[in-house]
Structure 1
Amino acid sequence: MLKDLDDATVTVALSVSAAVVGTAALLWGLRRSFVVVTVTGLSMRPAYEPGDRVIVRRGRVPAKGGEVVVEMPSIEDRAWPSPAAGLGAPGVDVARRRWLIKRVAGTPGDVWSPPSGEPVEVPPGHLFLLGDNARLSFDSRQMGPFEADRVLGSVCHRL
Protein backbone atom coordinates (compact mmCIF):
# COMPACT_ATOMS: atom_id res chain seq x y z
CA MET A 1 0.00 0.00 0.00
CA LEU A 2 2.85 2.41 0.80
CA LYS A 3 4.26 1.89 -2.73
CA ASP A 4 1.15 3.61 -4.15
CA LEU A 5 1.80 6.81 -2.13
CA ASP A 6 4.27 9.49 -3.10
CA ASP A 7 7.32 10.18 -0.93
CA ALA A 8 5.86 13.36 0.61
CA THR A 9 2.72 11.55 1.79
CA VAL A 10 4.76 8.74 3.33
CA THR A 11 7.02 11.27 5.06
CA VAL A 12 4.03 13.12 6.52
CA ALA A 13 2.39 9.88 7.66
CA LEU A 14 5.59 8.71 9.35
CA SER A 15 6.09 12.13 10.99
CA VAL A 16 2.54 12.14 12.36
CA SER A 17 2.98 8.59 13.66
CA ALA A 18 6.25 9.51 15.36
CA ALA A 19 4.63 12.58 16.95
CA VAL A 20 1.73 10.50 18.29
CA VAL A 21 4.08 7.88 19.74
CA GLY A 22 6.32 10.59 21.22
CA THR A 23 3.36 12.37 22.80
CA ALA A 24 2.05 9.12 24.29
CA ALA A 25 5.49 8.35 25.74
CA LEU A 26 5.75 11.86 27.21
CA LEU A 27 2.30 11.61 28.82
CA TRP A 28 3.13 8.18 30.23
CA GLY A 29 6.36 9.54 31.71
CA LEU A 30 4.61 12.58 33.21
CA ARG A 31 1.92 10.39 34.74
CA ARG A 32 4.59 8.26 36.42
CA SER A 33 6.38 11.39 37.70
CA PHE A 34 3.47 13.63 38.70
CA VAL A 35 0.01 13.13 40.17
CA VAL A 36 -2.82 15.48 41.12
CA VAL A 37 -4.20 15.15 44.67
CA THR A 38 -7.32 16.86 46.04
CA VAL A 39 -7.22 18.24 49.58
CA THR A 40 -10.06 16.89 51.75
CA GLY A 41 -9.27 17.89 55.35
CA LEU A 42 -8.58 20.98 57.42
CA SER A 43 -5.16 20.04 58.82
CA MET A 44 -3.19 22.31 56.48
CA ARG A 45 -5.38 25.41 56.84
CA PRO A 46 -4.75 28.21 56.01
CA ALA A 47 -2.24 26.98 53.38
CA TYR A 48 -4.78 24.61 51.79
CA GLU A 49 -8.56 24.43 51.91
CA PRO A 50 -10.74 21.37 51.25
CA GLY A 51 -11.19 21.03 47.49
CA ASP A 52 -7.82 22.58 46.62
CA ARG A 53 -5.86 20.50 44.13
CA VAL A 54 -2.10 20.13 44.14
CA ILE A 55 0.45 18.64 41.77
CA VAL A 56 2.73 16.15 43.51
CA ARG A 57 6.12 15.15 42.18
CA ARG A 58 6.47 11.47 42.99
CA GLY A 59 9.50 10.08 44.78
CA ARG A 60 10.81 13.37 46.13
CA VAL A 61 10.98 14.57 49.74
CA PRO A 62 11.60 18.30 50.13
CA ALA A 63 13.82 19.92 52.74
CA LYS A 64 12.39 20.99 56.08
CA GLY A 65 9.47 23.34 55.64
CA GLY A 66 8.41 21.72 52.36
CA GLU A 67 5.14 19.85 51.91
CA VAL A 68 4.72 16.16 51.24
CA VAL A 69 1.86 13.84 50.46
CA VAL A 70 2.11 10.80 52.70
CA GLU A 71 -0.07 7.72 52.99
CA MET A 72 -2.56 7.95 55.85
CA PRO A 73 -2.24 5.31 58.56
CA SER A 74 -5.16 3.93 60.53
CA ILE A 75 -5.81 6.43 63.31
CA GLU A 76 -6.97 3.70 65.69
CA ASP A 77 -4.05 1.30 65.11
CA ARG A 78 -1.37 3.90 64.32
CA ALA A 79 -0.37 1.58 61.46
CA TRP A 80 -0.97 1.18 57.73
CA PRO A 81 -3.46 -1.36 56.37
CA SER A 82 -1.26 -2.35 53.42
CA PRO A 83 2.45 -2.81 52.76
CA ALA A 84 4.51 0.24 51.86
CA ALA A 85 4.75 0.84 48.16
CA GLY A 86 8.11 2.59 48.38
CA LEU A 87 9.00 6.25 48.04
CA GLY A 88 7.07 7.65 45.10
CA ALA A 89 4.93 4.55 44.69
CA PRO A 90 5.17 4.52 40.86
CA GLY A 91 3.21 1.29 40.52
CA VAL A 92 0.50 2.12 43.05
CA ASP A 93 -2.99 3.21 42.09
CA VAL A 94 -3.10 6.51 43.98
CA ALA A 95 -6.90 6.51 44.06
CA ARG A 96 -6.95 3.28 46.12
CA ARG A 97 -4.98 4.76 49.01
CA ARG A 98 -5.74 7.61 51.45
CA TRP A 99 -3.30 10.52 51.54
CA LEU A 100 -2.37 13.36 53.87
CA ILE A 101 -0.61 16.62 53.06
CA LYS A 102 1.88 17.56 55.77
CA ARG A 103 4.86 19.84 56.28
CA VAL A 104 8.30 18.28 56.84
CA ALA A 105 9.35 19.39 60.32
CA GLY A 106 12.19 16.93 60.89
CA THR A 107 14.44 14.55 58.99
CA PRO A 108 16.62 11.67 60.21
CA GLY A 109 18.91 12.80 63.00
CA ASP A 110 16.74 15.75 64.07
CA VAL A 111 15.46 15.76 67.64
CA TRP A 112 11.77 16.27 68.44
CA SER A 113 9.91 16.40 71.70
CA PRO A 114 6.72 14.37 71.93
CA PRO A 115 3.86 15.86 74.03
CA SER A 116 4.81 13.61 76.90
CA GLY A 117 8.24 12.16 77.34
CA GLU A 118 11.87 12.68 76.57
CA PRO A 119 13.14 14.18 73.30
CA VAL A 120 13.54 11.56 70.58
CA GLU A 121 15.78 11.49 67.54
CA VAL A 122 14.04 11.01 64.17
CA PRO A 123 15.31 7.57 63.08
CA PRO A 124 16.77 6.77 59.66
CA GLY A 125 14.08 6.23 57.02
CA HIS A 126 11.54 8.40 58.86
CA LEU A 127 10.21 11.97 58.77
CA PHE A 128 8.62 14.16 61.41
CA LEU A 129 5.53 15.60 59.69
CA LEU A 130 3.15 18.28 60.97
CA GLY A 131 -0.08 19.84 59.80
CA ASP A 132 -0.28 23.64 59.88
CA ASN A 133 -3.57 23.50 61.83
CA ALA A 134 -2.41 21.68 64.98
CA ARG A 135 -5.90 21.43 66.52
CA LEU A 136 -7.27 19.46 63.55
CA SER A 137 -4.21 17.57 62.35
CA PHE A 138 -3.34 13.90 62.72
CA ASP A 139 0.43 14.00 62.35
CA SER A 140 3.70 13.16 64.08
CA ARG A 141 2.45 14.73 67.30
CA GLN A 142 0.14 11.71 67.65
CA MET A 143 1.80 9.18 65.36
CA GLY A 144 5.49 9.78 65.91
CA PRO A 145 7.77 9.84 62.88
CA PHE A 146 6.25 8.63 59.61
CA GLU A 147 8.04 6.04 57.51
CA ALA A 148 9.64 7.79 54.51
CA ASP A 149 8.62 4.94 52.21
CA ARG A 150 4.99 5.99 52.82
CA VAL A 151 5.65 9.32 51.08
CA LEU A 152 4.08 9.65 47.64
CA GLY A 153 6.09 12.80 46.85
CA SER A 154 6.43 16.52 47.34
CA VAL A 155 3.83 19.17 46.62
CA CYS A 156 5.24 21.25 43.78
CA HIS A 157 2.28 23.38 42.68
CA ARG A 158 -1.25 24.31 43.67
CA LEU A 159 -3.79 24.32 40.83
Structure 2
Amino acid sequence: MTPVLLVLLVLLASALGGCAVTAARRTLRVVEVHGESMEPGLRSGDRVLVRRLRPGRPGRSRGRVRRGDVVVISRVGPGEGFALDGGTNLVIKRAAAVAGDPIPPGFEALGETRVPPGRLFVLGDNPSRSTDSRHWGLLPETRITGVVLRRLHG
Protein backbone atom coordinates (compact mmCIF):
# COMPACT_ATOMS: atom_id res chain seq x y z
CA MET A 1 0.00 0.00 0.00
CA THR A 2 1.40 3.37 -0.96
CA PRO A 3 1.89 6.07 1.69
CA VAL A 4 -0.61 8.34 -0.08
CA LEU A 5 -3.29 5.66 -0.07
CA LEU A 6 -2.59 4.90 3.59
CA VAL A 7 -2.98 8.59 4.50
CA LEU A 8 -6.25 8.77 2.55
CA LEU A 9 -7.59 5.69 4.34
CA VAL A 10 -6.68 7.14 7.75
CA LEU A 11 -8.37 10.45 6.87
CA LEU A 12 -11.48 8.63 5.64
CA ALA A 13 -11.66 6.52 8.80
CA SER A 14 -11.31 9.65 10.95
CA ALA A 15 -14.05 11.45 9.02
CA LEU A 16 -16.41 8.47 9.31
CA GLY A 17 -15.68 8.16 13.01
CA GLY A 18 -16.45 11.84 13.51
CA CYS A 19 -19.73 11.47 11.62
CA ALA A 20 -20.71 8.49 13.77
CA VAL A 21 -20.03 10.43 16.98
CA THR A 22 -22.04 13.40 15.71
CA ALA A 23 -24.95 11.15 14.73
CA ALA A 24 -24.89 9.43 18.13
CA ARG A 25 -24.96 12.78 19.93
CA ARG A 26 -28.01 13.82 17.92
CA THR A 27 -29.91 10.64 18.74
CA LEU A 28 -28.66 9.60 22.18
CA ARG A 29 -27.96 11.28 25.49
CA VAL A 30 -27.08 10.15 28.98
CA VAL A 31 -29.01 11.73 31.83
CA GLU A 32 -28.84 11.36 35.58
CA VAL A 33 -32.01 10.67 37.53
CA HIS A 34 -32.86 12.89 40.52
CA GLY A 35 -35.82 12.07 42.75
CA GLU A 36 -37.87 9.11 43.92
CA SER A 37 -40.84 9.02 41.55
CA MET A 38 -39.53 6.08 39.49
CA GLU A 39 -38.29 3.87 42.34
CA PRO A 40 -37.51 1.04 42.63
CA GLY A 41 -36.56 0.67 38.93
CA LEU A 42 -34.73 3.99 38.72
CA ARG A 43 -33.18 5.61 41.76
CA SER A 44 -31.74 9.04 42.33
CA GLY A 45 -28.19 9.03 40.98
CA ASP A 46 -28.86 6.39 38.31
CA ARG A 47 -27.78 7.26 34.80
CA VAL A 48 -29.94 6.29 31.84
CA LEU A 49 -29.36 6.15 28.10
CA VAL A 50 -32.09 8.10 26.28
CA ARG A 51 -33.03 8.01 22.60
CA ARG A 52 -33.91 11.57 21.65
CA LEU A 53 -37.11 12.20 19.74
CA ARG A 54 -37.46 14.90 17.13
CA PRO A 55 -40.21 17.36 17.90
CA GLY A 56 -43.53 16.26 16.48
CA ARG A 57 -46.51 18.18 15.31
CA PRO A 58 -49.51 18.44 17.65
CA GLY A 59 -52.26 15.93 16.89
CA ARG A 60 -49.99 13.75 14.79
CA SER A 61 -48.69 10.57 16.39
CA ARG A 62 -44.94 10.24 16.13
CA GLY A 63 -45.27 6.48 16.59
CA ARG A 64 -42.22 6.30 18.80
CA VAL A 65 -43.69 5.98 22.27
CA ARG A 66 -45.36 2.74 23.32
CA ARG A 67 -47.35 1.89 26.40
CA GLY A 68 -44.86 0.88 29.10
CA ASP A 69 -41.97 2.99 27.78
CA VAL A 70 -40.16 5.20 30.26
CA VAL A 71 -40.14 8.65 28.72
CA VAL A 72 -38.39 11.96 29.28
CA ILE A 73 -40.82 14.88 29.27
CA SER A 74 -40.23 18.61 29.15
CA ARG A 75 -41.32 19.99 32.53
CA VAL A 76 -45.06 20.47 32.85
CA GLY A 77 -45.02 23.38 35.26
CA PRO A 78 -42.98 25.11 37.98
CA GLY A 79 -41.87 22.70 40.68
CA GLU A 80 -43.66 19.69 39.19
CA GLY A 81 -41.89 16.38 38.77
CA PHE A 82 -38.14 16.14 39.23
CA ALA A 83 -35.10 17.24 37.33
CA LEU A 84 -32.79 15.16 35.19
CA ASP A 85 -29.41 15.87 33.72
CA GLY A 86 -28.12 18.27 36.35
CA GLY A 87 -31.27 20.28 36.87
CA THR A 88 -32.66 20.79 33.37
CA ASN A 89 -36.41 21.17 32.98
CA LEU A 90 -37.18 17.51 32.35
CA VAL A 91 -39.16 14.82 34.17
CA ILE A 92 -39.18 11.07 33.71
CA LYS A 93 -42.33 8.93 33.86
CA ARG A 94 -43.80 5.76 32.42
CA ALA A 95 -46.22 5.95 29.49
CA ALA A 96 -49.20 4.18 31.09
CA ALA A 97 -51.45 4.77 28.07
CA VAL A 98 -50.84 6.21 24.59
CA ALA A 99 -53.18 7.48 21.86
CA GLY A 100 -56.05 5.05 21.34
CA ASP A 101 -55.53 3.17 24.63
CA PRO A 102 -58.31 3.11 27.22
CA ILE A 103 -57.84 5.49 30.14
CA PRO A 104 -56.55 3.35 33.05
CA PRO A 105 -59.22 2.36 35.60
CA GLY A 106 -59.72 4.93 38.33
CA PHE A 107 -58.88 7.92 36.14
CA GLU A 108 -62.25 8.42 34.43
CA ALA A 109 -62.42 11.92 35.97
CA LEU A 110 -60.16 13.06 33.12
CA GLY A 111 -63.33 13.15 31.03
CA GLU A 112 -62.11 10.69 28.41
CA THR A 113 -62.59 6.96 27.92
CA ARG A 114 -59.62 6.65 25.58
CA VAL A 115 -56.41 8.63 25.18
CA PRO A 116 -57.01 11.01 22.25
CA PRO A 117 -54.54 11.34 19.35
CA GLY A 118 -51.48 13.41 20.22
CA ARG A 119 -51.86 12.79 23.97
CA LEU A 120 -50.25 10.55 26.58
CA PHE A 121 -51.14 9.36 30.09
CA VAL A 122 -48.01 9.05 32.28
CA LEU A 123 -47.44 7.74 35.80
CA GLY A 124 -44.45 7.44 38.10
CA ASP A 125 -43.58 3.91 39.25
CA ASN A 126 -43.67 5.15 42.88
CA PRO A 127 -47.17 6.70 43.09
CA SER A 128 -46.76 8.09 46.61
CA ARG A 129 -43.72 10.13 45.48
CA SER A 130 -44.81 11.07 41.95
CA THR A 131 -46.50 14.03 40.31
CA ASP A 132 -47.88 12.81 36.98
CA SER A 133 -51.05 12.59 34.87
CA ARG A 134 -53.07 12.18 38.06
CA HIS A 135 -52.23 15.86 38.63
CA TRP A 136 -51.45 17.16 35.12
CA GLY A 137 -54.04 15.26 33.09
CA LEU A 138 -53.26 14.00 29.61
CA LEU A 139 -50.00 15.40 28.26
CA PRO A 140 -49.37 16.53 24.70
CA GLU A 141 -47.15 14.02 22.91
CA THR A 142 -45.00 16.95 21.79
CA ARG A 143 -43.70 17.19 25.39
CA ILE A 144 -41.87 13.87 25.01
CA THR A 145 -38.20 14.57 24.34
CA GLY A 146 -36.91 11.01 24.55
CA VAL A 147 -37.40 7.36 25.47
CA VAL A 148 -35.20 5.64 28.06
CA LEU A 149 -33.39 2.73 26.44
CA ARG A 150 -31.67 1.38 29.53
CA ARG A 151 -30.15 2.11 32.89
CA LEU A 152 -26.38 2.38 32.75
CA HIS A 153 -24.16 0.71 35.32
CA GLY A 154 -21.36 2.49 37.14
Output the TM-score relative to the length of structure 2: 0.78
Name the residue aligned to 2:23. 29
Output the TM-score relative to the length of structure 1: 0.76
Q: Select which of 91, 95, 119 maps to 1:100.
A: 91
The Cα shift of 1:119 comes to 4.5
The Cα shift of 1:114 comes to 6.5
The Cα shift of 1:145 comes to 1.0
TM-aligned CA distance change 1:137 to 1:125, over 3 Å: same
The Cα shift of 1:52 comes to 0.3
2:65 and 2:98 in contact (8 A); partners too: no
The Cα shift of 1:147 comes to 1.1
The Cα shift of 1:150 comes to 1.0
Aligned pair 1:61/2:75, yes or no? no
Name the residue aligned to 1:128. 121
Aligned pair 1:157/2:144, yes or no? no
The SS at the match of 1:41 is coil
Q: Percent identity?
A: 36
1:111 and 1:119 in contact (8 A); partners too: no
Aligned pair 1:148/2:141, yes or no? yes
The Cα shift of 1:157 comes to 1.3
Aligned pair 1:117/2:120, yes or no? no
2:29 and 2:49 in contact (8 A); partners too: yes
Name the residue aligned to 1:87. none
1:61 and 1:151 in contact (8 A); partners too: no
| AA partner of residue 117 (structure 1) | A
Unmatched 5+ stretches in structure 1 = 1-6, 79-93
Rounded to whole Å, the distance in 1 between the matches of 2:23 and 2:115 is: 33
| AA partner of residue 135 (structure 2) | Q
Rounded to whole Å, the distance in 2 between the matches of 1:14 and 1:95 is: 41
Q: Count how many residue pairs are aligned between Structure 1 and Structure 2.
A: 137
The SS at the match of 1:117 is helix
The Cα shift of 1:24 comes to 0.4
Q: Which has the larger radius of gyration?
A: 1
